[in-house]
Amino acid sequence: MRLQEPEKTVTFTFNGRRIKAVPGEPVSAALLAHGIKLVARSFKYHRPRGIMSAGSEEQNALVTVGRGAQAEPNVRATTLEVSEGLEVSSQNAWPSLRYDMMAMNDFVSPFLAAGFYYKTFMWPRSFWEKLYEPVIRRAAGLGALSGETNPDTYEKAFAFCDVLVIGAGPAGLMAALTAGQAGADVIIADEDTAMGGRLLREQEEVDGTSAKDWVAEVLAALDAMPNVRRMTRTTVTGAYDQGTYGALERVAGPRMPGKPLECFWRIVAKRAILCAGALERPIAFPNNDRPGIMMASAVRAYVNRWGVAPGKAIAVFGNNQDVHRTAVDLTAAGIKVVAVIDSRDGTGSVTDSRDGVTAYGDYPIYTAAQVIATKGRHGLQSITVSHRGGTRTIQTDCLAMSGGWNPTVHLTCHMNGRPTWREDIASFVPTPDSIPGMVTAGACNGTFSTAGCLAEGAGVAAEVARGLGLKPKVTVPAADDAPYAITPLWAVPGRGRKWIDFQNDVHVKDIKLAAQENFRSVEHMKRYTTQGMAPDQGKSSNVVALAVLADATGRGIAQTGTTTFRPPYVPVSIAAMGAGSQGKGFAPERFTTSHKASVARDAPMIEAGLWYRPSYYPQKGETHWRQSCDREVGYVRNAVGVCDVSTLGKIDIQGPDAATLLDFVYTNSFSTLKVGRVRYGLMLREDGHVMDDGTTARLGDAHFVMTTTTAAAGLVLRHLEFALQVLRPDLDAKVMSVTEQWAQFAVAGPKARALLDTVLDQTLDDANWPFMACGVVDVGGVSGRLFRISFSGEHAYEVAVPARYGESLFRILVAQAEVLGGGPYGMEALNVLRIEKGFVTHAEIHGRTTALDIGMDRMVSPNKDCIGKAAAARPGLLGAGRQQLVGLRAKGEDHVLSAGAHLFAKDAAETRENSQGYVTSVCFSPTLGSYVALGFLENGRARHGEVIKLRDHLRGITEEVTVCDPVFFDPTGGRARG
């Protein structure tokens, strides 16, 4: 219920029920205000679940927002802001939330203990695919995706600052204020909709005024500083190298067309101050998962911040002084407190009576007491308390529990850091210097009083500012400085399951079973029981589970250790991380200048990298793509063909040390290349495997143009930049991609020169344009470039013009080719031509092959060093036993080969152990009249002429093939050079 009527309301729906709420409050507050306790079902047993917390640590109240394509599952109701027309629905329940058929799992829970799936689904083996996996997949998961394209928009952004303050509670506000006043460029980020942290949720005073008023004054001061940026609704999700932090910003309000839903930030900070606060943990007592059982701090938050009473008669149970703070706040708000159950032996200022029950105000206090039972299936109805005087059943619809506080150490562990156990607060705290450049302050550092948080935030910020060369002034306001007193209580003895991870249905017995079955490591226990996985991520359940494991194994918690916290701290949608990459942004369509002309000829377009290239050019009467492909191969072999090769990567390299750079990245030498000549080059990765191949032309003493494969254009450019910036920063050279700036066309075939003589302003001959020559030419008055190179094995050229002339030149070249008995050819014919010549592409240089494997080891110059040369000489990458590139020829035209097939000795069994190689590329060669293939075979170069077996289990193909040289056509290269 609400403690007072709001001035303004909006309406949203929950499972179709219309609910009035205050704009901007969390959905969880609105549901509690209307007495709605049951909001979800747990994952494994489908037990009823209610709201437990008031922040991003919530593991129970997961809901689906919206419908259709905009449906977003697994949103925490505690962080979801109410807006007009918002649609919220429960999930993981059928046919309804109250009557869930999968709740039958709870009745057979003794058979579904931790690790049951490891033991149950082993036998019979054949049942896994037929029965077990389908059933498990249908039952698994929480919310469901719509399967439709996400219409929402997302953004990504970058920010830079001197100091990043993470968290805007008392420590964070003081840190930002101190650093900002010192002149530092500050960003303060907080996941809440408003800054202030727990000061907005508690009844406290700071500097003689209410905490909320003090927060407002500090925020006004920060807003007045031009060097301070406040970011609300922004969760810092991860810490990475070199002071980089990921942060997810949730945009306020309902979805609006054209407005982003989320923005993922990459923030680079010179220093960071973590003021992430602490999270309250539960106590494991029998049946502690009833809807209506909540964290004590959450109960105070709903009362003090949002004016909502989570219950009509509330009991409080805990092992620290927060139980009394909660009771006092509830009483001050006019809410009935039926009992305070303090597990500690004494309460300090409260004197215990003989039976352990003391009247304090309007409620009894039970000391040395524990909750040993609860009742209420869909909502808490009563609790049973054990105390010095015996047991007592108390009617209550809400129980506020507090097992102590866990500092939020997560970000300090994102670079393999491990937290340190502190016995005095019974929790883990950050280990100093876990993250370079990050310091911690406040509750996340184990300091739990308001005064301590304020002082620590200011002191740490002053130290950081001095490290930046600034002169800070430190003024710390007065505030509550009550010490934190706790007597640990992890699990209450008694009958009934004592839940630890409420979403994954992990209880105390599961942890003990893991230890009993020798899963004693925390990492093994976590995976065996699924504790701390999925929504919880160890935020609430981790320390309690570790304590139970420590007890079960006879170790201390410090010796037991903790599981690994990894980014992100809160769930981050893939759409936010990849903002701008939806739809066409995910796979941009890159069109060549000849695209329209190719489409006009009905050429099917296929993707090559991000480019669209014609597969083949069908003609009237052709009913199969092979007919078109064979015809186009004939153009090149017998007349002339034209192919758009603009998609090949083109990298302009200039500078006095350009040749030295090429010598460093290529296995062969380029410093000896003469101006006006082209050379084929091979490039290795640092591990010695082939990265890419291509040609590089020398247009001037300090000017080269490198050509790469289409798929590796970006990779090679990045490789060159890395070499210049990191490996050889002494070189004076610049690299730039000019792929889009030039349209380039291959003109190949016996009549190639005759065709070019019709479009160039000069005449070609072998004297001035020998094989592998290059230079500037005039194409109809346009300055272009000509390269005499061949990827088909024929007399061929590649002519390049500025991209704006590309379409016109393509149409002219094709028209002239048709006059000469040729025409355009596409990717299918291009592939056939290069396989016939044994030219490799990334089908062969796929990342696991070396220069030796592809028969190019002689290209590795012995006279110079290059990237990958030393690694390529490792023993494991040498020797005749490696699989080497070979040609494979079928028996005849009707014998079909397939790429991906494995190669076996002729009489060997077709098993994995007997595989001697594999096929990478296959085509039907109209020139040779049979199928031919390229592949890798153990000691292949020594086995030319041997007949082996090709087996494709997937397609059911078995063929005998003859091993041969990978160059099937014109092995001497006379046609290309003539």
pLDDT of residue 358: 56
**Nearest partner of 810 among 821, 800, 819, judged by Cα:** 800
pLDDT of residue 139: 67
**Nearest partner of 687 among 719, 648, 710, judged by Cα:** 719
pLDDT of residue 895: 94
443 burial type by CB count under 10 A (0-12 exposed, 13-18 middle, 19+ buried): buried
* Whether pLDDT at 356 is above 60: no
d(CA 940, CA 322): 76
d(CA 960, CA 903): 10
Helices (H), 13-151: 27-33, 104-107, 116-120, 127, 133-139
pLDDT over 90 percentage in the chain: 81
Q: Are 777 and 761 in contact (CB under 8 A)?
A: yes
User: What does pLDDT average to over the chain?
Assistant: 93
95 prior amide bond cis, ω within 30: yes
Q: Are 244 and 411 in contact (CB under 8 A)?
A: no
- For the segment 614-621, the average pLDDT, to the nearest whole number, is 96
Taking only the tens place, the pLDDT of each residue in 660-718 is: 999 999 999 999 999 999 999 999 999 999 999 999 999 999 999 999 999 999 999 99
CA distances from 305 to 80, 200, 478, 529 (A): 16, 6, 22, 36
Residue 776, number of CB atoms within 10 A of its CB? 10
pLDDT of residue 254: 63
Side-chain-side CA neighbours of 165 within 13 Å: the count stands at: 36
H/E element, 317: strand 313-318
Taking only the tens place, the pLDDT of each residue in 395-410 is: 999 999 999 999 999 9
* Whether pLDDT at 121 is above 90: no
Would strands 605-608 and 703-708 be described as parallel, antiparallel, or unpaired?
unpaired
d(CA 480, CA 453): 10
Q: Are 961 and 889 in contact (CB under 8 A)?
A: yes
Strand, coil or helix: 715: helix
Taking only the tens place, the pLDDT of each residue in 778-800 is: 999 999 999 999 999 999 999 99
Token pair, residue 953, equals: 């289990």
- List the 649-654 sheet strands across, edge first: 678-684, 690-700, 703-708, 649-654, 734-737
CA distances from 145 to 49, 139, 254, 262, 843 (A): 22, 15, 20, 18, 36
* Whether pLDDT at 42 is above 70: yes
pLDDT of residue 610: 83
Token pair, residue 456, equals: 């620590």
Strand, coil or helix: 409: coil
- DSSP string of 640-683, one letter each residue: -EEEE-TTSEEEEEESTTHHHHHHHHBSS--TTPPTTBEEEEEE
* Whether pLDDT at 195 is above 70: yes
Taking only the tens place, the pLDDT of each residue in 871-921 is: 999 998 998 889 999 999 999 888 999 999 999 999 999 999 999 999 999
Token pair, residue 880, equals: 């005749």
Instruction: Kindly calculate the radius of gyration of the chain based on its CA atoms and give it in whole angstroms.
Output: 36
Delineate the domains of the chain, giving CATH numbers in brackets. 10-118 (3.10.20.440), 153-279+407-467 (3.50.50.60), 289-378 (no CATH), 490-555 (1.10.10), 879-977 (2.40.30.110)
d(CA 921, CA 761): 40
- Which residue's structure tokens are 């920063």? 729
pLDDT band of 351, cuts 50, 70, 90: very low
pLDDT band of 119, cuts 50, 70, 90: confident
pLDDT of residue 361: 60
d(CA 453, CA 323): 21
Taking only the tens place, the pLDDT of each residue in 936-975 is: 999 999 999 999 999 999 999 999 999 999 999 999 999 9
474 burial type by CB count under 10 A (0-12 exposed, 13-18 middle, 19+ buried): middle
Three-point CA angle 896, 897, 899, nearest 5°: 145
H/E element, 476: none
Would strands 649-654 and 734-737 be described as parallel, antiparallel, or unpaired?
antiparallel
- DSSP string of 150-177, one letter each residue: P--EEEEEEEEEEEEEE--SHHHHHHHH
CA distances from 894 to 832, 890, 929, 930 (A): 17, 9, 10, 8
Type of residue found at 775? G
pTM, full prediction = 0.79
- For the segment 15-28, the average pLDDT, to the nearest whole number, is 94
Taking only the tens place, the pLDDT of each residue in 546-597 is: 999 999 999 999 989 888 899 999 999 988 998 888 777 777 889 999 999 9
Per the DSSP assignment, residues forming a β-bridge with 186 are 163, 228
473 burial type by CB count under 10 A (0-12 exposed, 13-18 middle, 19+ buried): exposed
d(CA 279, CA 480): 19
pLDDT of residue 627: 97
pLDDT band of 153, cuts 50, 70, 90: confident
Strand, coil or helix: 978: coil
Strands (E) located in 847-899: 883-889
pLDDT of residue 349: 40
CA distances from 4 to 302, 303, 400 (A): 13, 11, 22
pLDDT of residue 223: 97
Q: Are 482 and 516 in contact (CB under 8 A)?
A: no
d(CA 799, CA 775): 10
pLDDT of residue 870: 96
**Nearest partner of 546 among 516, 515, 570, judged by Cα:** 515
Strands (E) located in 368-494: 370-375, 382-387, 390-395, 398-402, 405-407, 420-422, 427-429, 438-440
pLDDT of residue 563: 87
**Nearest partner of 829 among 904, 746, 727, judged by Cα:** 746
pLDDT of residue 107: 80
CA distances from 205 to 199, 200, 491, 702 (A): 9, 11, 35, 72
d(CA 398, CA 37): 9
955 burial type by CB count under 10 A (0-12 exposed, 13-18 middle, 19+ buried): exposed
pLDDT band of 348, cuts 50, 70, 90: very low
CA distances from 786 to 458, 649, 743 (A): 68, 16, 12
How many helical (H) and strand (E) elements, i.e. helices and strands, does the chain have?
24, 51
* Whether pLDDT at 140 is above 80: no
- For the segment 8-31, the average pLDDT, to the nearest whole number, is 95
Strand, coil or helix: 518: coil
pLDDT band of 126, cuts 50, 70, 90: confident
Q: Which of 123-127, 190-194, 298-302, 809-813 has the lowest mean pLDDT?
A: 123-127
d(CA 964, CA 966): 6
- For the segment 441-464, the average pLDDT, to the nearest whole number, is 96
Residue 800, number of CB atoms within 10 A of its CB? 25
Contacts (Cβ under 8 Å, ≥6 apart) of 902: 910, 915, 917, 918, 919, 950, 951, 952, 953
